[in-house]
Structure 1
Amino acid sequence: MTTTTEALAPAHTPRMAFPEQAPEFYRAMVRLDQEAAKGLDPVLFHLVKIRASQVNHCAFCIDMHTKDALADGETVERIVQLSAWRESRHFYTERELAALALTEAVTLISENAVPDEVYAAAADHFEQAELARLLSAIVVINAWNRIAVTTLMVPGHYTPRGAQ
């Protein structure tokens, strides 16, 4: 993992075990996440989750959703370029680019609201029902990010479904 013989820094201690402290809410969040995924392209769903998590500096969710994306066949190259997607447009479809722009606008809503041109571009690439699912996915990952960042969930221990 590291190219030096120096030991890695120790992991931080989480502030709380959120699922144990708010189990009903946690299960409701899982159901919301599952509902948001219905009708969305899984590749797009992964990109949205990773990008929102990058913007929110949510290490736990970046770890989780990157591993899920790789397990589902996403390429390392596209994941690596995601933090600079505007400069790496040629790695993504126009539809993915519109979704990434909407993801950032919603995630950073307090800065500029959601600009009309960003919403219009997304609406050009997604039918209304699918656009509603995309918005749902963005809202849910932002909620997850806020839980994980606030409770200091520790990245690095997640294993995707089906992985050994």
Structure 2
Amino acid sequence: MTTETTPQATPETPHAHGPRLHWTKLAPEVFQAMVALDAAARKGLDPTLVELVKIRASQINHCAFCIDMHTKDARKAGETEERIYLLNAWEEAASFYTPREQAALALTEAITVLTDGFVPDAVHNRAAALFDEAELAQLIALITTINAWNRFGVSTRMAPGRSQ
């Protein structure tokens, strides 16, 4: 239990809240394991692709902390503002993304929204045609890892603007 006061939400400020708890301090071994998993999952993948995947999953999961962090990381990796802005509508703006990026984003959406059903064969096959098996395994690990980060961020209300 935290001793911090959390502002109450009102109709005027429906999201006026602070963090529920600081999980990284309360479960440091889990946090360190997540950091190690994240580093392992990104190995061998293009840094820009990594950030696009992380931003897209975070958009779907409504994780403001991760969206903020990964848009900043994407810029540092050389990503353009235009592609970051269009990411939420990447299918409509497909010409801005490579076929590999499109396949990775489709796979990201399928894995992130498993409540819509299983990952469709067409989505998997599209990615499998453009990534070798090792890359595909890494990509699936990356998508799974960012979804775990998102769940920590959303459930504990990690505030955007505080990433380092």
TM-score (norm 2): 0.89
User: Equivalent residue for 2:98?
Assistant: 93
Deviations 1:106-137 (A, max 9, x none): 00012121000000000000000000000000
- Consecutive unaligned residues of structure 1, counting only runs of 5 or more, are 1-7, 160-164
User: Equivalent residue for 1:16?
Assistant: 21
Give, in whole Å, the separation in 2 of the partners of 1:10 and 1:106: 27
- Letter of the 1:68 counterpart: D
Listed as ranges, the matches of 1:1-164 within 5 Å are 12-159=17-164
- Letter of the 1:127 counterpart: D
Give, in whole Å, the separation in 1 of the partners of 2:156 and 2:79: 29
Give, in whole Å, the separation in 1 of the partners of 2:55 and 2:66: 7
Q: CA deviation at 1:25?
A: 0.5
Give, in whole Å, the separation in 2 of the partners of 1:9 and 1:120: 42
Instruction: Give 4+ residue runs of structure 1 displaced > 4 Å after superposition.
Output: 8-11
Give, in whole Å, the separation in 2 of the partners of 1:72 and 1:29: 21
Give, in whole Å, the separation in 1 of the partners of 2:118 and 2:74: 29
Q: CA deviation at 1:43?
A: 0.7
Alpha-carbon contact 1:11-1:154 (below 8 Å) kept: no
- Letter of the 2:55 counterpart: I
Residue identity (%):
59
TM-score (norm 1): 0.89
RMSD, aligned CA: 1.5
Give, in whole Å, the separation in 2 of the partners of 1:115 and 1:151: 31
Give, in whole Å, the separation in 2 of the partners of 1:69 and 1:9: 29
- Letter of the 2:128 counterpart: A
- Consecutive unaligned residues of structure 2, counting only runs of 5 or more, are 1-12
- Letter of the 1:48 counterpart: V
Segment drifting more, 28-37 vs 108-117: 108-117
- Letter of the 1:14 counterpart: P
